[in-house]
A and B are shown apart, each in its own frame.
Chain A
Amino acid sequence: MRLDPILSKATVGSAGETGSWRNFRPVVEAEKCSGCKECFYYCPEGVIEVKGVARIDYRFCKGCGVCREVCRQKAIVMVQEE
């Protein structure tokens, strides 16, 4: 029996492009960001990468706002999507 067809495959975007769920977009103010990675650890979606400063993948960011709340430098602002 071929098991391959019945096994699920690891897929980025298993629920689609979840960035479309967003009402508010978190925007990093690079000059304030200290690169502490707090947002990286707490982001539920895992869409934040920190290389010097935090960068957010808007394709999948759902806009929950957790990153803004945990940011110690208050370097993230939520901007309403159009």
Chain B
Amino acid sequence: MILPGNASCQGCPIAMAMRCLDEIENPVLVIPAGCSTVIAGLHPKSAMKCPVVHVPFASTHSVACGLSEAYRKLGVDATIVAWMGDGAADIGFATLSASATRKDDILTVVVDNEAYMNTGTQASLSTFWKAKTTTSPTGKTEEKRNLALVMLAHKVDYVATASVGYIRDLRRKFRTAGKKDGFRFIHVHTPCPPGWRFPSEKTVEVARKAVMSGAWILWEYDGKLRISPPSEKYADKSKRIPLKEYLNQGRFAHLSDEDVKEIERKIDEEWDLLLKFS
């Protein structure tokens, strides 16, 4: 769905995820400001093969809702995809939450690079505890919000987490969600080379290490919550790779051994909470 020669950085995980939109029939994208806006191209050129509506942050789901209702009334078979970053999900959360509560017929994809990357790496609600950003120069002092679980609490039809490190799992989730009706939400982990400070060729490796260390958990809810196959074995703590291997990024270079232990404890807590739902 995305054409070569677009404006994404080298090794961009969002461009990787955008390619997976091929799994969805007749997508119409609604994109609030963010890296995805830049990647989608500057007028009069578009990098996307499908229609794109560029919108202000907080109006994302209002516009998506209007489009979805209009297409339904006109009998046009299209899948409205609200494609946003974690920053836009913070800023536009009120309309996102309202739309989920109304059960609008929208597929929401949040590509989460754990900071406001398009404006130069400011901390977002998704930023990891202790991660360095320009607004948390000594490491973020607040916890990371688990957005997918928040969306699950809206009792919507489909919620999943995915990762660009497991592209077949990601494509399957796009395909599954694309075929469903109602409010669907997919939270995609997208490790950002310039923002997290690692070399561009390591995007997939970092994404996989997040899953293998248990720091990012792949799961899917469609009435029942299931841990997805790539993450299954990491429910057992002894199977996980050492967390330090994942944290080997510029934004975590300052961590002490105690910090790593504390993050490990937080990860265990996340798993305990999630496994209660499954």
Contact = CB atoms under 8 A, between A and B. Distances in A.
Contact of B204 (A15, A62, A66): A66
A68 to B, nearest CB: 6
Interface residues of A, number: 33
Interface in A9-67: 9-18, 21, 41-47, 57, 59-60, 62-66
B41 interface: yes
B42 interface: yes
A45 B41 contact: no
A17 B3 CA distance: 12
A66 to B, nearest CB: 6
Interface of A: 5-6, 8-18, 21, 41-47, 57, 59-60, 62-66, 68-70, 78
Indicate the member of B4, B8, B45, B46 with the most A CB atoms within 10 Å: B4
B6 A45 contact: yes
Contact of B10 (A12, A14, A17, A63): A63
A14 B167 contact: no
A5 to B, nearest CB: 8
Contact of B201 (A8, A13, A46, A69): A69
Given A8-B41, A8-B45, A44-B15, A14 B7 contact: yes
A17 B168 CA distance: 29
Nearest to B207: A42
Interface string B149-171: 00000000000000010011001
Contact of A45 (B4, B13, B49, B204): B4
Contacts of B45: 8-9, 11, 14
A8 B37 CA distance: 13
B202 A46 contact: no
B43 interface: yes
B6 A15 contact: yes
Q: In the A-B complex, list the 6 residue pairs whose CB atoms are closest, starting with the nearest.
A: A65-B201, A13-B5, A64-B11, A8-B46, A64-B10, A15-B7
Nearest to B14: A44
B43 A6 contact: yes
